[in-house]
Structure 1
Amino acid sequence: MNLIEKLGGYEKAKKIIDHQIDSEFQTEFFDVDGNYYANDYGKLLIYKNKQWVNFGAADIDIFSITDLENEAIQYRHQHNLYEAGDKVVVVEGMNLTIEQMRKIVDEAPAIANFYIPGKAGYTRMGSVLLDGAISLNDLRAAIADHDRTDYVSDIRNHISPMTIVQGD
């Protein structure tokens, strides 16, 4: 059972992701009841009554916020749910997520040059292009562009590549 199922569905998972505590501690963990936890140099803290307090030893399952965020992205893509900020590629009127592009490229026979949507087939057709066929090289290029994208999850810990370091 994945985290989203343990929580009782995508809506509850989304609520946990969207309502993380903005404070001096970074929210790192949560439990199935929606409580948030942080790590303070080896001490586990829980957010209660609008403040972080030490969390004593207890037999409770806590889960990583990062793992939940990754599962939520996979869930949205598997169920064709899109939100602001999601990356999709439009190829001749067809929307493909990065996961769909990877699947098409990974399943392509070695000799194929094009994918034919609708027929879910591949062809090697040289210079004759069927209507709506998608170049596998174009998909590979889009995947490479996506993989080069610099994602910043916490801008406070990001230094721009354009930053100039001055000496003494």
Structure 2
Amino acid sequence: MDKRLIVVLVVFLFVLWYALRTAQIPPASIQASAEVFYINNETVTIVEKDGWGLFTLEVKPRISGFTFEIEFPEGTEYLIKVNGKEYRGNTTFKTTIDKDSEIYINFRLPDEDTKKLYRGEGQYYLTIKASKLPIWYVEYKIKLIPRKEKD
């Protein structure tokens, strides 16, 4: 009887470990502005010919103190405003969110990447992550697309 109980306990612990490791329960509700939309089942935002892009996120936490991170394409400069506080940098932005927040994201793709994007030679994505251990995690990808010229 003891061996059966140990086997059941080991199997239960493995299943619990796997469930915690693979669970994706969002720590917040994240809503994007009209500048982020869907095309062909992909979330996209527009990059202008000069490389600039802009959109807003509204974040409503379900838990406090989670990590909010945005990964930009390599070399991308950004100016992000979170509840009135400005952050400048490039490639990766990371902060902790404790309350309802409005996040303004203004970024500039490097010139070479912008040219490739407009020539259709490359695909670029922003990755937005929100996480807090042990099980709170969500990841969103936003594809960058060029603005189409009006005919």
In proportion to residue count, which structure has more helix?
Answer: 1
Does TM, scored on the shorter chain, surpass 0.5? no
- Structure with more relative contact order (C-alpha pairs < 8 Å, separation 6 or more): 2
Larger radius of gyration: 1
Q: So what's the TM-score if we normalise by structure 1? A: 0.18
